[in-house]
């Protein structure tokens, strides 16, 4: 029988932000951590147990709870310090110096709780020429060098949504750093500051392509290499019904299966020994394009499913949502058999999951909106032993430390 989730019992205070910070938080929450999001106070709103305040733009909120705190109030700051006494992790998503100005920097909270892990993330490097500047995913990719690798031959560099810097180079890297700090704390007994930035994260993810720039694998310029769209047997092709198939037949034995399935085995370049002759690539690409256009995607799936041609359909997200139980179901990022992530029994007690459809798998295609203050009072009592009037009160739309503080 599976046990508790791997991070069960870990207490995380996540200051509300957008994209990378919440992504780090949801990775921790998916793994069983108790994540309490700190939202801004909403004047005129009092958040009582079970009630939901205004929805926030953050959709990465599954398994989290929220409290709205008036951080402009000394009592609001005092409440955060009270929670930090027994918290394990802080997630700071702000530009450098924001929490320090509020008196909630790592030196202050680390003195309150030497075991606390202070995870903070910025877009640009804290010690670089852009440190004081605003930016977004495309800017971090640009100065990391990664953006220069992305795009077709003859076209301008093109960013892949905000997947690469915000989420992979930012949120996921911060999550990794926090986990390393948790492991180190088991040995040292002390927490530490974990600093991530999206420039270094994106650059690190691009390590292999950068190394390849000085080898035949990647020295032909953007969009003209084997793995970036320059190679006809590593690319995507439109089908008769306007959909697409992906091709990745790099090895000779896979290439042979591909050209046979396409009905192109009679071409001179169909011999596996000639597949890397770049002089043949224009004719090869034209033949591939014409072949794929002759059938629908479903017809090509019937040809290549179950083969080693490395040829698969380019599935779109609406399709994935309808294929629960096959490729389409939302699964954890990694499977731990004894201590599973996304544990089903946690869903019933997750404020952001309440009212959603059946089953954790499949529901991940919808955002999990969490209202400011939703589920927060229950979380404060369960995780920190605080109750309204005994530890905190509500003032000007936000929670503040109570004059009748609970004994922790």
Report, as residue numbers or ranges, the catalytic residues: 166
Dihedral sign from CA coordinates of 5, 10, 16, 19 = negative
Angle at 158 between CA 227 and CA 17, to 5 degrees: 115
SS3 content of the chain, % helix, strand, coil (to 5): 35, 15, 50
The tokens for 259 are 């050209």
Q: How far is it, in rounded angstroms, from Cα 106 to Cα 97?
A: 11
Angle at 403 between CA 397 and CA 406, to 5 degrees: 100
Of 29, 41, 126, 122, residue with least CA distance to 79:
41
Neighbours of 315 (CB within 10 A): 15
Dihedral sign from CA coordinates of 197, 175, 385, 40 = positive
Residue 325's region, left for phi above 0, alpha for psi from -120 to 50, else beta, is left
Q: How far is it, in rounded angstroms, from Cα 191 to Cα 334?
A: 26
What DSSP string describes 239-258? -TTS-EEEEE--SHHHHHHH
Strand partners, 311: 247
The tokens for 355 are 């009212």
Of 237, 251, 229, 250, residue with least CA distance to 303:
237
């Amino acid at each position: 029988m599976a046990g508790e989730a791997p991070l069960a019992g870990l207490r995380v205070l996540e200051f509300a932000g957008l994209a990378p910070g919440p992504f780090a938080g949801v990775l921790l929450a998916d793994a069983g951590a108790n994540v309490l999001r700190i939202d801004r106070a909403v004047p005129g709103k009092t958040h009582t147990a079970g009630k939901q305040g205004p929805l926030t733009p953050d959709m990465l909120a599954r398994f989290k709870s929220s409290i709205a705190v008036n951080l402009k109030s000394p009592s609001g700051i005092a409440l955060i310090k009270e929670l930090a006494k027994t918290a394990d992790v802080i997630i700071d998503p702000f530009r450098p110096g924001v929490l320090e100005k509020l008196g909630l920097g790592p030196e202050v909270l680390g003195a309150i709780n030497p075991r606390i892990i202070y995870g903070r993330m910025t877009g640009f490097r804290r010690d670089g020429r852009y440190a004081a500047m605003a930016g977004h995913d495309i800017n971090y990719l640009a100065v990391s060098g990664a953006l220069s690798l992305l795009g077709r031959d003859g076209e301008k560099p093109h960013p892949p949504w905000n997947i690469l810097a915000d989420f992979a180079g930012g949120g996921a890297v911060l999550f990794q750093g926090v986990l390393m700090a948790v492991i180190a704390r088991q040995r040292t007994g002390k927490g530490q500051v974990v600093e991530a930035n999206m420039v270094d994260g994106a650059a690190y993810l691009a390590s292999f392509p950068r190394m390849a720039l000085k080898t035949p694998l990647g020295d032909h310029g953007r969009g003209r290499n084997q793995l970036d769209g320059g190679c006809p047997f590593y690319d995507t092709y439109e089908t008769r019904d306007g959909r697409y198939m992906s091709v990745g037949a790099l090895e000779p034995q896979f290439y042979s299966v591909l050209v046979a399935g396409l009905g192109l085995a009679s071409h001179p370049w169909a011999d596996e020994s000639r597949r890397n002759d770049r002089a043949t690539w224009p004719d090869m690409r034209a033949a591939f394009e014409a072949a794929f256009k002759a059938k629908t995607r479903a017809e090509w799936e019937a040809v290549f499913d179950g083969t080693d041609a490395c040829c698969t359909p380019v599935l779109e997200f609406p399709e994935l949502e309808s294929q629960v139980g096959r490729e389409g179901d939302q699964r954890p990022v990694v499977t731990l058999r004894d201590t599973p992530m996304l544990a089903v029994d946690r869903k019933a007690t997750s404020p952001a999951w309440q009212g959603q459809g059946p089953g954790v798998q499949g529901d991940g295609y919808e955002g999990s909106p969490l209202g400011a203050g939703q589920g927060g009072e229950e979380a404060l009592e369960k995780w920190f032993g605080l109750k309204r009037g005994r530890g905190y009160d509500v003032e000007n739309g936000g929670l503040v430390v109570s004059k009748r503080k609970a004994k922790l």
